[in-house]
Amino acid sequence: MKTLDVLFTPADFAALSRRNLDDTLCVVFDVFRATSSMVAALANGAPAIIPVAEIPEALVLRRQDPGVLLAGERDGVRIRAGLTGGQDFDLGNSPREFTREAVSGKTIVMTTTNGTRALRACAHAREVLIGSFLNLKAIADKIAQDRPQNLLIVCSGTFDQAAYEDALASGALCELVWQDFAAGDVSDSALMARRLFQQAQSELPEAASQSRNGRRLLGRPELREDVAFCLRRDIFAFVAGLGPDAKVRMIRNG
């Protein structure tokens, strides 16, 4: 029997390490903003992104390969020298920073508060896809093509709490794949996510802007435009995934 499940909070990350995901396709959402930034970076020519959980891991990879770009945030803002012992990161976590001029041909090492941790927690799954509104239809098309036995949608959340924008994105994906999973074992969390999206879809930008992350970004003039960017629907027709080498790459064109 097929299963469809949604995890809403980072508290679930630890349990994933003990969960058998051999027959599971995972989709990880960090809408504001890590997974959206990854998709934008790949669309603009970055060949790969290496998600790491902590700043020291990123610095080690930079020492091993001085050509990589360092990207990431803590508390929503770019990691600066005060947190690294002297080195500013090249990029923050705004998808608008990952322009073709900045990232084309460059491997990116990224660490964020929640998104990269969520990806690492799912790394032992059969397949891990990078979730965003920017390429949502392409993700749904791949799920329909692959026909996984188990679909697990992971919301990265905010610090240790659920994030409304991630719940909306997971619900939007549930809506797109519902027909293929409705006859199986659908968790209440998947049903809740779908209902949340159905209620908000006609005013999605307004709804997501009321989230904790949305309000925080809108309150910073330099980050305000990230909200609208991350909520753009299906502007890219490719799928991105975390490979067995722990790197995120474009894995299928639409």
Q: Please report the pLDDT score of residue 12 as a whole number.
A: 87
Q: What are the CA-CA distances from residue 171 to residues 104, 148, 232 (Å)?
A: 32, 18, 16
Contacting residues for 28 by C-beta, under 8 A, at least 6 apart: 35, 115, 118, 119, 122, 128, 129, 130, 131, 154, 156
pLDDT of residue 159: 84
Per-residue 3-state assignment (H helix, E strand, C coil) for 60-105: HHHHHCCCCEEEEEECCEECCHHHHCCCCCCECCCHHHCCHHHHCC
Report how far residue 94's alpha carbon sits from residue 229's, in angstroms, rounded to the nearest whole number. Answer: 9
Phi first, then psi, for residue 35 (nearest 5°) are -70, -30
Task: Identify the bridge partners of residue 6 per DSSP, sorted by sequence position.
Answer: 153
Tell me what pLDDT residue 253 has.
46
Opening angle at CA 245, ends 240 and 251, nearest 5? 25
Global confidence as pTM: 0.95
Q: What are the residues whose beta carbons fall under 8 Å from the beta carbon of 227, sequence distance 6 or more?
A: 32, 205, 208, 209, 214, 217, 218
pLDDT the model gives residue 252:
60
C-alpha to C-alpha distance for 246 and 211, rounded to whole angstroms: 30
- Give the distance from CA 59 to its chain's centroid: 22
Q: What is the mean pLDDT of each run of 10 residues along the chain (254 residues)?
A: 95 86 97 97 98 94 97 91 93 97 98 90 95 98 96 94 97 98 97 98 94 94 96 97 96 59
- Concatenated DSSP letters for 88-157? --SB-S-GGG--HHHHTT--EEEE-SSHHHHHHHTTTSSEEEEE-GGGHHHHHHHHHHH--SEEEEEE--
Between CA 53 and CA 56 the distance in angstroms is: 9
pLDDT for 32 equals: 96
Report the side by side order of strands in the sheet with 49-51: 77-78, 69-74, 108-111, 49-51, 248-253, 238-242, 127-131, 24-29, 150-155, 3-7, 185-186
Domains of the chain as residue ranges with CATH: 3-244 (3.90.1560.10)
